[in-house]
Structure 1
Amino acid sequence: MCGIVGCILKDNEKAAPVLLECISKLEYRGYDSVGIATISDELNIKKGKGAIKEVNNELDLSDMPGNYGIAHTRWATHGKPSKENAHPQIDCSGKIAVVHNGIIRNYVTIRNELEKEGHVFKSQTDTEVIPHLIEKFMDKGLDLEKALRETIAILDGTYAIAAISVDEPNKIIATRKDSPLIVGVGDEQYFIASDAPAILDYTRTIFRPDEGDIVVLEPSGVTVKNKDDEIIEKEIFTIDWTPDMAEKGGYEYFMLKEINEQAEYIQNTLTQKENIEKIIEELEDINRICFVACGTSYHASLTGKYLIESLVGIPVDVILASEFKYSLNALNDKTLCIYISQSGETADTLDALKMAKPKSKTLGIVNVVGSAIATEADYVIYTHAGPEIGVAATKTYLCQLTAIYLFAALLSLKLAENNDDIDLTKTTDLLRQLDRVPEFIEEVLGQSDSIMKMAEKYKDKSDFFFIGRGYAYPIALEGALKLKEITYIHGEGYAAGELKHGPLALMDEGVPVVVVMPPGEDYDHTMSNLEEVKARNAEVIAVTTDDAEIKEDKADDIIGINPDVSEIIAPLVYIVPLQMFAYYVAIDKGCDPDKPRNLAKSVTVN
């Protein structure tokens, strides 16, 4: 989940300021430490523990000579955050520097062997074995490219690696396996990066190397060689993101900007109808669907289950990607597996996709064009949510949901051609309602002042519970996740009908319970659950229609939603005030909502 960048510029240009700017755009991937390495006549390295701004204030990371180099922002796995464990990591000679995103599983064995050969290690990281292996092979007469090729043949794990050496000036070597890496082609400027936001200010023309490719960046251009050491051409495409999309745009934090962008980007996802119709045309004889996802995407998948089973009647399972291997034997060629990931690089989800491909049809729902899941899956739906910098997913979640809603509705229309049991009235009404979702979200955003005051009231609570039934249940789960992600307050989401099966024992005097209760057939049942928790003197926050008749003795606070928001589309609207509530609680507690502790944006390691 670390972020890496590299650039090679014109001879009269300094790389360090560019590297600093680029790596700052990837801080959502990790913010334990940062480092930059450039080469002039010698290897120059500056690195330190802490956020990029802190380390830069201390070391002035942009003040380094050289027109090329590499940089890294770290999310610690092996070795605690420290200057010694920060990247770049170097070899014994001090001539080779490496940055790495991933995990080397066999690093202990490699390190022990290298230490027996006389290599001296200075960190606790798994990464440090890489420059020492490169050093070993270069000492045998190999050049940097071939030394890296020999090195990765020994490594067991995941990696995106960039390396430079004093002995081979004006050259950056990079490769990847199960970790994201893009190559950017500018005007006599060439880049590698973990993710596109890093380089948007310099180029939007990119390509993605395949696993095992070796990429060589030089002032004259970029060369790519495949696993067989053959020079190959890569498909180059232009990202439709603009540099402004990856900026705060006047907001204090990215998360608030991204919450406020949701209505706009849902409109982008709604333009995918034609693409989804084409995919559905090719899907024949599907009698089972499996959603596979992690975290927030898992909650989107639960909504998908309710939608598809309700509209179409096809059985749907929702499986955590990390647990998918235990369901592998139940797959067959009539199963459609749908993989949901914002980055398209989520390690567990990508692994699950690779497991399923030989047995089932596969569909990816992702935000990043050309990402690993998009490339690997049989079909892909892009959510077009733009870059999301805040670690806690907001707009990408709603765009995932929108894609799922479109898929479910259009699948219903297709299958109804040969199935009289499918009620198209419900489907056509759903499609009509989807067009109004941006309007409903804008109305919710207009309640920011009242939600801000509510956050101030509850900021010192230590526990929260979120409950809902049917379509409101995934909302409760996602609301709880948002709160604990960015405020560090314990939050749990439950199906409201499960209260008497254990959770009710925890709902005591003064404990806040968020009750999600959109209009519909579950409203009265949920109201009964609300009264149950209120009878235990819990503090109730009701998220319901703004014309709901809830007396003050039943709810301590009410967040009102337009009554035209029906139960079936509630997941697209009712989550927005819960995102806002979590954001304002985090601000009141002095937490950085963009950079929650111990978390990073893209989980690219298992």
Structure 2
Amino acid sequence: MCGIVGGVANKNIISLLLEGLNRLEYRGYDSSGLIVLSKNNTFDRVRSLGKVKNLEDNLKGRVPLIEGNIGIAHTRWATHGEPSIHNAHPHISKNSVSLVHNGIIENYIELKNDQLSNGYLFTSETDTEVIAHAIDFAMKSCSTLIASVQLAIKSFSGSYGLGIISSKYPDQIIAARKGSPLVIGIGVNGNYIASDQIALLSVTNKFIFLEDGDVAEIKIDKITIYDFEGNLVKRPVKISKLKLGEFDVGDYDHFMQKEIFEQPQAIRDTLESRITNDSILISTFGFKAEEIFNKVTQVQIVACGSSYNAGLVAKYWLEDIAKISCNVEVASEYRYRRPILLNNTLFVTLSQSGETADTVEALKEAKKINSSITTLCITNSAESTLTRLSDLIFLTHAGLEISVASSKAFTTQLVALALLTCSIGKLKNTINKKQEKEIIDGLKRLPGLVSEALLQENQIKKLAIKFKDKNSTLFVGRGTMHAIAMEGALKLKEISYIHAEAYPAGELKHGPIALIDRHMPVIAIAPNDELLEKLKSNLQEVKSRGSQMIVFEDENSMVKPMEAMEVIPVTSNLGRITAPIIFTIPLQLLSYHIAIIKGTDVDKPRNLAKSVTVE
């Protein structure tokens, strides 16, 4: 999960490379680097450890300044080889080939041994360096750079998004994609490549999204694309609707805070044109959705991280409300366990980016296992691998999410899954008109309810102070709130580095209660539902062990405060659909403000990246 940007332009490319890297830093920030072809067609490379700002500072100190009209750049999330200068991209082979890489070459040890025997030297511990050497070796028998790349990639096992330049072919960049996202930007003053269109919005809004196996030759006035078999292909040019202003933090302190407060509008946008006359438009999932949903007998959800937690909430909804069997699995486990997929299964993938590697591969594996299944992708990215692979597509319209820790992408996924639940339920006659209207009324209230929950930020700031010196936290909930507790624990781990775990409240006596003492805070979620009284009993058990407690409740739950227990009313009269979404909000704010107090890098937490495009 690294960021790539490059270009062939009629002016110095350095500023564009740096601007692109800053926008791609969410993909990794262990190190960064860039390389250009100078006027005498030699490589000029600069690399720095840590964030892109360090690379910018390094460049300011260079005399003479680096200049070049063709170049590539990279921001790294380390996989093979520790974060270091010598492992930073771009990598060079024999001063003839330089490249940047996002992905993993699984057979790199075998390739490296062959290359060592052929006299190639290695200056890094990365798997990427074998790609550069393989292309250099191919150039000995090929008459063009693109032919050399096409020959070299035949020997790779794994995934790659590549940007390649050569001192012997100083008028072009080669881009190659397999399993890792890569786009071509078509500009007025040149043509460009990037892992994500956001890196290039200052120079173009016209993009070509490369497909798996594509290899492209990019010159200042011409773009030529071949598929993996070497056939000349045409890929459509898409006009991006993203705007540069979406990358500004505005009046907020961090992107995460901004994105938390953007949730009311994100939910409105996700619901827009999907509900009419108190009825959910099933066609929003695809023009064949009604026919497909009628035949579905079970749902399989596959996802990672926050998306997996959203899937767990949906399991309760689908089985309780729509009365249809639902299984939810972590994508990285599902793809390797030889699952059984029955006919008439709706296979649902959830991914903010639509590029999550394990989720993409799980989808591919599922289609191999049973080609008759129907696939539905719920994502925030219209031009992604998952959307291209899926039969049905639902776009969440959350808008750009920059912070590594997901907020609005998670809640809009829940909205999408609520619409899916209602759509299947009404087709299966397990949801009647009255129930559908109640669900729709709840969904329509959501933006206002989220806005009300956000008003508690100041109170939550005060709660966050109590966590300054804590090392561990337990989150508990029952029913759908167990999944929301899991999401709360994940957020706390991600951005504050406090160890956190979530349990069903009824599971405490089966082990976790042994951990509870006055040093272990417990955060509970208490909606006003059929499990409330059982939850109150669980809270008494926790309190008797001396724990410091925070309880987020529905006003009608009326949890009785006790010593060292804070009860925070979040809202009231929530239904089964709205409650999980609303109770997510205070957990997001709590994690955010704890991270602020602890002084962590909220938007870019250590060791993490936004889009996990490698295993």
Show the 5 A alignment for 1:410-429.
Answer: 410-416=423-429, 422-429=431-438
Who is 1:387 aligned against?
400
Identity among equivalent pairs (%): 40
Q: CA deviation at 1:133?
A: 1.2
Distance in 2 (alpha carbons) for counterparts of 1:223 and 1:250: 43
- TM-score normalised to structure 1 length: 0.96
Say which SS state the counterpart of residue 317 (structure 1) adopts: strand
Say which SS state the counterpart of residue 458 (structure 1) adopts: coil
Residues 1:289 and 1:212: Cα distance change in structure 2 (over 3 Å): same
Q: CA deviation at 1:486?
A: 0.7
Q: CA deviation at 1:466?
A: 0.5
One-letter identity of the residue aligned with 2:18: L
Which residue of 26, 29, 44 corresponds with 1:28? 26
Distance in 1 (alpha carbons) for counterparts of 2:394 and 2:183: 20
**Contact 1:471 1:568 (8 Å CA) reproduced:** no
Distance in 2 (alpha carbons) for counterparts of 1:513 and 1:567: 24
Who is 2:59 aligned against?
59
Which residue of 539, 558, 569 corresponds with 1:549? 558
Tell whether 2:509 aligns with 1:500.
yes
Say which SS state the counterpart of residue 169 (structure 2) adopts: coil
Tell whether 2:65 aligns with 1:49.
no
The one-character-per-residue Cα deviations of 1:240-266 (angstroms, maximum 9, x if unpaired) are 221111221232211111111111111
**Contact 2:561 2:567 (8 Å CA) reproduced:** no
Distance in 2 (alpha carbons) for counterparts of 1:590 and 1:245: 25
Distance in 2 (alpha carbons) for counterparts of 1:129 and 1:167: 19
**Contact 2:475 2:502 (8 Å CA) reproduced:** yes
Who is 1:129 aligned against?
130
The one-character-per-residue Cα deviations of 1:34-84 (angstroms, maximum 9, x if unpaired) are 001111222111111111112321333994211121000000111111111
Who is 1:403 aligned against?
416
One-letter identity of the residue aligned with 2:74: H
Q: CA deviation at 1:320?
A: 1.1
Of 237-246 and 259-268, the range deviating more from structure 2: 237-246
Distance in 2 (alpha carbons) for counterparts of 1:197 and 1:377: 24
Q: CA deviation at 1:109?
A: 1.2
Structure 1: tracts of 5 or more residues without a match? none
Tell whether 2:327 aligns with 1:322.
no
Q: CA deviation at 1:199?
A: 1.5
Say which SS state the counterpart of residue 232 (structure 2) adopts: coil
Q: CA deviation at 1:196?
A: 2.1
One-letter identity of the residue aligned with 2:388: T
Q: CA deviation at 1:554?
A: 5.6
Distance in 2 (alpha carbons) for counterparts of 1:468 and 1:74: 37
Distance in 1 (alpha carbons) for counterparts of 2:614 and 2:607: 14
Say which SS state the counterpart of residue 343 (structure 2) adopts: coil
Say which SS state the counterpart of residue 130 (structure 1) adopts: helix
Distance in 2 (alpha carbons) for counterparts of 1:52 and 1:176: 24
Of 482-491 and 327-336, the range deviating more from structure 2: 327-336
Distance in 2 (alpha carbons) for counterparts of 1:184 and 1:300: 33
Say which SS state the counterpart of residue 542 (structure 1) adopts: strand
Say which SS state the counterpart of residue 499 (structure 1) adopts: helix
Of 133-142 and 321-330, the range deviating more from structure 2: 321-330
Residues 1:180 and 1:252: Cα distance change in structure 2 (over 3 Å): same
Say which SS state the counterpart of residue 85 (structure 1) adopts: coil
Distance in 2 (alpha carbons) for counterparts of 1:334 and 1:141: 49
Distance in 1 (alpha carbons) for counterparts of 2:306 and 2:568: 22
Tell whether 2:221 aligns with 1:220.
yes
Distance in 2 (alpha carbons) for counterparts of 1:336 and 1:548: 36
Who is 1:478 aligned against?
487
Tell whether 2:469 aligns with 1:460.
yes
The one-character-per-residue Cα deviations of 1:147-168 (angstroms, maximum 9, x if unpaired) are 1111100111110011001111
Distance in 2 (alpha carbons) for counterparts of 1:522 and 1:425: 24
Q: CA deviation at 1:498?
A: 1.0
Distance in 2 (alpha carbons) for counterparts of 1:560 and 1:222: 58
Alignment size in residue pairs = 599
Who is 1:592 aligned against?
601
Distance in 2 (alpha carbons) for counterparts of 1:434 and 1:2: 37
**Contact 1:440 1:565 (8 Å CA) reproduced:** no
Say which SS state the counterpart of residue 170 (structure 1) adopts: strand
Distance in 1 (alpha carbons) for counterparts of 2:185 and 2:220: 13
Distance in 2 (alpha carbons) for counterparts of 1:534 and 1:227: 62
Tell whether 2:322 aligns with 1:312.
yes
**Contact 2:528 2:556 (8 Å CA) reproduced:** no
Tell whether 2:434 aligns with 1:442.
no
Who is 1:368 aligned against?
381
Of 200-209 and 289-298, the range deviating more from structure 2: 200-209
**Contact 2:190 2:221 (8 Å CA) reproduced:** no
Q: CA deviation at 1:328?
A: 4.5
Show the 5 A alignment for 1:141-152.
Answer: 141-152=142-153
The one-character-per-residue Cα deviations of 1:498-533 (angstroms, maximum 9, x if unpaired) are 111111111122311101011111222111111110
**Contact 2:506 2:538 (8 Å CA) reproduced:** yes
Tell whether 2:171 aligns with 1:170.
yes
**Contact 1:184 1:207 (8 Å CA) reproduced:** yes
Q: CA deviation at 1:548?
A: 4.8
Who is 2:92 aligned against?
90
One-letter identity of the residue aligned with 1:451: I
Q: CA deviation at 1:217?
A: 1.2
Distance in 2 (alpha carbons) for counterparts of 1:26 and 1:448: 30
Who is 1:236 aligned against?
237
One-letter identity of the residue aligned with 1:55: L
**Contact 1:36 1:61 (8 Å CA) reproduced:** no
Distance in 2 (alpha carbons) for counterparts of 1:590 and 1:496: 31
**Contact 2:46 2:55 (8 Å CA) reproduced:** no
Say which SS state the counterpart of residue 296 (structure 2) adopts: coil
Distance in 2 (alpha carbons) for counterparts of 1:513 and 1:458: 11
Distance in 1 (alpha carbons) for counterparts of 2:419 and 2:532: 25
**Contact 1:280 1:414 (8 Å CA) reproduced:** no
**Contact 1:531 1:554 (8 Å CA) reproduced:** no
Who is 2:532 aligned against?
523
**Contact 1:39 1:69 (8 Å CA) reproduced:** yes
Who is 1:78 aligned against?
80
The one-character-per-residue Cα deviations of 1:180-234 (angstroms, maximum 9, x if unpaired) are 1111112233221111221122222212111111111111132111223232211
Who is 2:17 aligned against?
19
What is the RMSD of the two structures over their aligned residues, measured on CA atoms? 1.6
Tell whether 2:307 aligns with 1:297.
yes
Q: CA deviation at 1:291?
A: 0.5
One-letter identity of the residue aligned with 2:305: G
Of 517-526 and 432-441, the range deviating more from structure 2: 517-526
**Contact 1:311 1:427 (8 Å CA) reproduced:** no
Of 540-549 and 172-181, the range deviating more from structure 2: 540-549
**Contact 2:323 2:425 (8 Å CA) reproduced:** no
Q: CA deviation at 1:333?
A: 2.4
One-letter identity of the residue aligned with 1:257: K
One-letter identity of the residue aligned with 1:75: W
Distance in 2 (alpha carbons) for counterparts of 1:502 and 1:489: 20
Who is 1:117 aligned against?
118
- TM-score normalised to structure 2 length: 0.95
Residues 1:33 and 1:333: Cα distance change in structure 2 (over 3 Å): same
Residues 1:449 and 1:529: Cα distance change in structure 2 (over 3 Å): same
Structure 2: tracts of 5 or more residues without a match? 275-280
Q: CA deviation at 1:562?
A: 1.6
Distance in 2 (alpha carbons) for counterparts of 1:100 and 1:325: 24
Distance in 2 (alpha carbons) for counterparts of 1:138 and 1:327: 41
Distance in 1 (alpha carbons) for counterparts of 2:486 and 2:197: 30
One-letter identity of the residue aligned with 1:508: D
Tell whether 2:318 aligns with 1:337.
no
Tell whether 2:575 aligns with 1:566.
yes
The one-character-per-residue Cα deviations of 1:118-171 (angstroms, maximum 9, x if unpaired) are 111111111011111111121334321111111100111110011001111120
Q: CA deviation at 1:547?
A: 5.6
Distance in 1 (alpha carbons) for counterparts of 2:402 and 2:162: 23
Distance in 2 (alpha carbons) for counterparts of 1:567 and 1:282: 27
Say which SS state the counterpart of residue 503 (structure 2) adopts: strand
Say which SS state the counterpart of residue 159 (structure 2) adopts: strand
Residues 1:61 and 1:136: Cα distance change in structure 2 (over 3 Å): farther
Q: CA deviation at 1:330?
A: 1.9
Residues 1:497 and 1:575: Cα distance change in structure 2 (over 3 Å): same
